[in-house]
């Protein structure tokens, strides 16, 4: 990489200051997206420490410990949650720490416990490439080899938030599906990305969320020769307006327009329990 000397840097700053604000914003958005794409690829495993440092490693280690403690021979079949902050909320945490938005969400696990033995292997902020890194290290062998295991996957919204395209994000989700197909024997349920309308430096993302979900339907169907893959659309009720109109999120259930609160998670769990 060629470094800019201090004199050249000062001239560059002056030149940038003369550019219109709109142009600067566009250049910044493009630069951020390009940097993400160059450093990580959604379909290739990489740890998430570049984003969250030691905090990510500690969360990963907690998941490994949870997997090691998990009793695969329990009377109820296992239900494994694989994803990001939305699913980590079921532990009442975000990157291992209690935060206001997760208050009461851990109680929702009791809904799943009616019929399943849940194991939450999710880390806030994770993208597809980070989940690809974690799965081989966090999933105990007994869960991978058991046909009684059910894996519920919700991943990809943070790829869009980081500036990856719809195509790149779908490629990452399919890499997750392919790994699970090759390395597990159980049922694989991919949840559609939940609606989102939280402000992002990459603009309004709901149209991209809808595009990812549509592509997931097609791509997962193409990979379902085994009959183990399923797509689940339970999260659609968070979006109040039909596609194509102004995005309106049900904020009583998703106050920050990205993460369900305890009531939102409870409704999502009831829908999932009915469908799976």
* 74-94: pLDDT as tens digits: 789 999 999 999 999 999 999
Give me the number of domains the chain comprises: 1
**% of the chain exceeding 70 in pLDDT:** 82
CATH number, residue 128:
3.40.50.1110
Residue 260 in domain: yes
Show the tokens assigned to 204: 């309004």
pLDDT of residue 146: 95
Q: 99-131: per-residue pLDDT in tens?
A: 999 999 999 999 999 999 999 999 999 999 999
Residue 29 in domain: no
Residue 124 in domain: yes
Residue 13 in domain: no
Q: 205-223: per-residue pLDDT in tens?
A: 999 999 999 999 999 999 9
Residue 101 in domain: yes
Q: 59-78: per-residue pLDDT in tens?
A: 999 999 999 999 888 789 99
Domain ranges, residue 214: 40-275
Statement: residue 16 has pLDDT above 60: no
pLDDT of residue 32: 42
Residue 21 in domain: no
Using alpha carbons, select from 254, 256, 257 the residue that is nearest to residue 268: 254
Residue 5 in domain: no
Quote the Cα angle for 123-260-243, to 5°: 110
* In contact, 149 and 187? CB cutoff 8 Å: yes
Residue 193 in domain: yes
> In which band, very low, low, confident or very high, does the pLDDT at 242 lie, cut at 50, 70 and 90?
low
Statement: residue 235 has pLDDT above 50: yes
Task: Find all residues with CB under 8 Å of 271, minimum gap 6, and list them.
Answer: 234, 237
pLDDT of residue 149: 96
């Amino acid at each position: 990489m060629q470094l800019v000397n201090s004199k050249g840097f000062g001239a560059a700053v002056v030149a940038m200051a003369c550019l219109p604000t709109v142009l600067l914003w566009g250049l910044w958005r493009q630069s951020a997206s390009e940097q993400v794409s160059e450093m990580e690829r959604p379909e290739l495993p990489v740890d998430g420490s570049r984003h969250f440092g030691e905090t990510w490693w500690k969360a990963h280690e907690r998941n490994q410990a949870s997997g090691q403690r998990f009793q695969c021979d329990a009377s109820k079949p296992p239900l494994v949650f694989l994803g990001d902050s939305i699913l980590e909320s079921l532990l009442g945490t975000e990157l291992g720490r209690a935060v206001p938005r997760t208050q009461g969400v851990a109680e929702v696990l009791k809904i799943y416990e009616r019929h399943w033995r849940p194991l939450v292997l999710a880390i806030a902020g994770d993208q597809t490439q980070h989940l690809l890194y974690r799965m081989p290290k966090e999933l105990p062998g007994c869960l991978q080899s058991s046909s009684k295991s059910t894996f519920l996957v919700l991943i990809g919204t943070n790829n869009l938030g980081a500036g990856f395209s719809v195509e790149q994000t779908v490629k990452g989700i399919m890499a997750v599906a392919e790994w699970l197909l090759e390395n597990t024997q159980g049922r694989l349920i991919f949840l559609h990305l939940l609606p989102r309308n939280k402000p992002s430096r990459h603009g309004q993302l709901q149209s991209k969320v809808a595009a990812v979900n549509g592509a997931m339907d097609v791509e997962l169907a193409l990979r379902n020769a085994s009959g183990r893959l399923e797509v689940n659309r339970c999260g659609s009720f968070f979006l109040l307006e039909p596609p194509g109109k102004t995005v309106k999120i049900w904020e009583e259930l998703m106050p920050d327009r990205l993460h369900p609160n305890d009531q939102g998670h409870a409704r999502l769990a009831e829908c999932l329990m009915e469908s799976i």
